[in-house]
Amino acid sequence: MAKDVLCEVNNCTYWKSGNQCEADRIYVVSHKGERANRTEETDCKTFEPLG
C-alpha cells in the first residue's frame, strides 16, 4: 500500500500542506467499467469539497 498519497486539489477536505492526502482510504473509479486505459478515464470518489 502506498505510504504517501499526493493530491493537488487544495479545496478537498482531505488535502494538507505539501499536497498530501490525509484520507484513511482512497476510492478511484473508471468511466469505462472495471478497466481504464488512461488517467482521464478515472475519477477520485474520495474528494469532498471544503465546506
pLDDT, tens only, 39-49 = 999 999 999 99
pLDDT digits (tens, 9 = 90+) for 2-51: 789 999 999 999 999 999 999 999 999 999 999 999 999 999 999 999 98
DSSP secondary structure, 1-43, as one string: --S--B---TTBTTEETTTEE--S---EEETTSS--SSGGGEE
Can you read off the three cell numbers belonging to residue 38?
488512461
Determine the pLDDT at residue 25: 94
Q: Which domain holds residue 12?
A: 1-51
Entry pTM: 0.80
What pLDDT, on the 0 to 100 scale, is given for residue 1? Answer: 72
Report the number of distinct structural domains present in the chain.
1
**What is the pLDDT at residue 42?**
97
